[in-house]
Structures are given as C-alpha cells and as structure tokens.
A = this chain, B = another copy of it.
Amino acid sequence: MLLPTQPAAWQGKENRQSAPPERQDSFRTSNDRATLSDIATLAGLSTSTVSRVVNGSRCTSPTARARVQQAVAELGYMPNVLARQLRSSRTKTLALVLIDIANPFFTGIARGVEDAARAQGYTVMFCNTDESVDEEMGYLRGLIQRRVDGVLLVPAVNSRGSLELLQQHGVPVVVLDRRLGSGQVDQVRADSEGGAYLAVRHLIELGHRRIAILAGPESLSTSVDRVDGYKRALAEASIGARSQQILFGEYTEGSGYEMTSRILAAPSRPTAIFAGNNSIALGALQALRDSGIHYADDMSIVVFDDLPQGGSLPFLTAVSQPAYEIGKLAAYMLIERLATEEPLEPRVIVLPSSLIVRRSSAPPRLTSSAGPRSAKAIAGPARTHRDPNGLHPSPGLLANLRPCPTGSTLTKASPVAGTGSLKLP
C-alpha cells in the first residue's frame, strides 16, 4: 500500500549466485552497504558513469552498462534513496493525509491515489488524522520535513492552518472530499448536494413525507451540501420547511446511534432516515435494532456513502461516490502540477454521485400522505440505479446477508464541473 517497487532500470533480479558467496571484497566490510563509488572502483569506471547506467540515462556504452550491472549484482548494490533525494531535491513521494483509512470510502480514495501515483513512479505515504487537527498539523510538519513533493489532503473537521502551512513551505496541495479555504487550491470531490437530492427524492417518490437527515458536523462542507440537497428535494416536492428534520452530529457510529435515538424518542417520528455517511448509518442501524424497529418495514433508511458489500450489509440503499476516481484524479492533478512550473489556475473537480437502490428503502407502512408517486416519476429523470439484489422478496435473515455484486453501474447525479484538461493514462 505504501512503497511501490522502484522502477529503476538496473533492477533485474539480482543474480547474486553468480558471485562466489564467500567473497569478501577488501573495500567492503560485512555490513557496510555498497555505494556508488564501490561499484565504480569495482567496475573500473567513474561514479558518474555508474550513476548514469543505474539511472538508465542514455549516453552509456554497452560495455560500461555490462560492467556496472555485473558489479551491481556482485555487490548487491542498493542505491541510497536518501542521498539521491537530497541531491535532486525531489523525493518522488506524495502524501495522502486523511481522516480514517479504515472507512471504505477513504480506502477507495487511497487505492485510487496509490494506483495513479505508482503509475507515475511516485511513492505515497498515508497518514491518519482521526479527525484531529493536531494530528493533521503534526503529520503535515513531518511531511514537510521529509520534503514530500506534494500533499493530498482530506482536511479534518476544523482544519485551519493546514493549507497555509503547506503553501508557506511551497508544498503543492490538492484538497479531497471536503471544501476548504478560499478556493485558491486544487480540489476534487463528489457531488454531495446532488447525491443527497437524489436520495431524498427517492424517499419522497416512495411516499415518504417525514424524512430526517442525520448530518455530520455543521462546520463541514459535506454536511452542509448534503443538507442542501435534502432541502432542495423537499422543496421541489412542496414539502413544507416545518416538516424538515435536520440533525447535525459527527461522522461516527456513536453519533449516528445517538441522533437516531433522539429521533425515535421525539413526538413526530419520521418514516425515513437519510444518514449523512456510512458510519452514521451503522450507528443508526444499531439504534433501530435496539428499539426493535425493522428497517424498510418500519423505517426506511438511505445512506450517503456506499459500504463494502462483502459480508455484512448488502441491503442498504446508498448514495455511491466515485471514491477511487476521486483519489486517482487528485493524484494526477497533483503530479501534473509538480511537472509544470507554477502557471496553473486552481481547479475544482466535482464528480457525480449516484444512487443505488436496495432493500432498506420502501414505501412507508402507515402514512397519512399519498402513496408512491406515479411510475412515470420514478422512471423519469431520476439518475438512480436499482440493484438487482435489492429486489429479492421476503428478506429473511439469510437473504438479508446475501452478497451483492459490486459492479453496480453508476449514473450521473450532476454535471462535472471544471474538469479542465487533465491528461489521464
């Protein structure tokens, strides 16, 4: 996950066996590692030449190449990346600083970042902040000291000085997932507003009128945007503002549990819950269980963020974000910026989210409102995708745990903004 194989040209399988194992070269004590000049003397060449063939620079004769390779193999030479980096003042290293890599959404981002980076010969370091600004700052400082070439940042909740610190030290940044700062930074994220709109409209189309949204921290752009989408969907359906039920909390299981409990205790209980992210959903599900409330039947639930469909929760209707693409795109943007000389305008890319309908959302059981809307409305411009596994009838215990194929076709939730001319592989 962290260090890609060094793509150096000389890196054929080291045929160490070609050298007599007991050989103890006079200029190499047992544990001292061979250096460039070691192999230079062994090969009877200068360090520059050796350096050239090791780095695959052209301008080397076949004979020189052969002798160097021979010496490299013989001594088991491994270039000292530190020295190389110090000299060239480029580390070919990126950092991804994020909230919680255990969260599937961020894991997806991380994969995208690593794949893109590795494809360009970059190594990436992953740093978990656990939503702590102090951790974030600490990591950032460490990364600057390590002279990473650039940083991909998913800022923690009240992150403030981070961008300034980075820019102060001339470290290029791309901000992921969450809006940050005055806009003078490259950014990549999914469309929170549009995704939330889709989700809530879906619930409305099922006949729900009292829908609660369990959002994250009010100070986070994703929370605000998702609430905006929620509001838009309600407004569009002429559902009065007094029917709104908006709770701000944290993006944690505990907070989801707590918010759900509050909702269930309140007088006018909603018929559907829109969870602001996957952790909140997990907590919400637990709260429902503990109250003996069945999802779908008694309470519809839709999640922002899809969950891994492997073994446990394959029944949740969810807004899916293109996590992998976010990471990949962000890495490419960053690397591109590293390649050029400063003249790029800050770019903001918003990728479409989409809705995957499964079994956790159903028409409300006993509602005073009208039933589901016309089929036309459902089949209309709603950019949703109905998961075949969501359609299995009579969801018994076992059926509930049935796996669901991952290859869900995603549909656009909103237009892409400002994609610019990023060159992808």
Contact = CB atoms under 8 A, between A and B. Distances in A.
Interface of A: 1-6, 11, 16, 30-31, 33, 76, 78-83, 85-86, 91, 95, 101-102, 107, 123, 125-128, 135, 138-139, 141-147, 168-170, 253, 282, 285-286, 288-290, 292, 294, 310-313, 396-403
A78 B145 contact: yes
Q: How many copies does the complex hold?
A: 2
A170 B125 contact: no
Contacts of A169: 33, 76, 78
Contacts of A16: 168
B1 A127 contact: yes
Contacts of A282: 310-311
Given A294-B397, A313-B311, A141 B402 contact: no
Nearest to A86: B82
A126 B86 CA distance: 23
Contacts of A123: 142
B127 A2 contact: yes
Given A289-B402, A402-B290, A403-B286, A128 B1 contact: yes
7 contacts: A3-B139, A4-B142, A11-B141, A76-B169, A80-B86, A81-B142, A82-B147
A47 to B, nearest CB: 16
A398 B144 contact: no
Nearest to A139: B3
B168 A76 contact: yes
Nearest to A16: B168
B313 A285 contact: no
A2 B128 contact: yes
Contacts of A95: 3
A311 B310 contact: no
A253 B310 contact: yes
A93 to B, nearest CB: 10
B142 A398 contact: no
Nearest to A102: B107
A264 to B, nearest CB: 14
A85 B147 CA distance: 12
A238 to B, nearest CB: 35
Contacts of A294: 397-398
Nearest to A144: B78
A14 B164 CA distance: 12
Nearest to A123: B142
Contacts of A83: 86
Nearest to A101: B1
Given A2-B128, A3-B138, A282-B310, 14 more contacts: A3-B127, A3-B142, A33-B169, A78-B141, A78-B144, A86-B86, A285-B401, A286-B311, A286-B403, A292-B398, A311-B313, A396-B397, A397-B397, A397-B400
Given A31-B170, A145-B79, A2 B125 contact: yes
Contacts of A3: 95, 125, 127, 138-139, 142-143, 146
A289 B80 contact: no
A295 B101 CA distance: 32
A144 B168 CA distance: 32
A146 B79 CA distance: 9
Contacts of A125: 2-3, 125
Contacts of A146: 3, 81-82
A145 B311 contact: no
A144 to B, nearest CB: 5
Contacts of A290: 398, 402
Contacts of A11: 141
A138 to B, nearest CB: 3
A127 B139 CA distance: 18
A80 B16 CA distance: 35
A305 to B, nearest CB: 13
Contacts of A312: 311-313
Which 4 A/B pairs are nearest by Cβ-Cβ distance? Answer: A5-B138, A312-B312, A1-B128, A282-B311
B145 A6 contact: yes
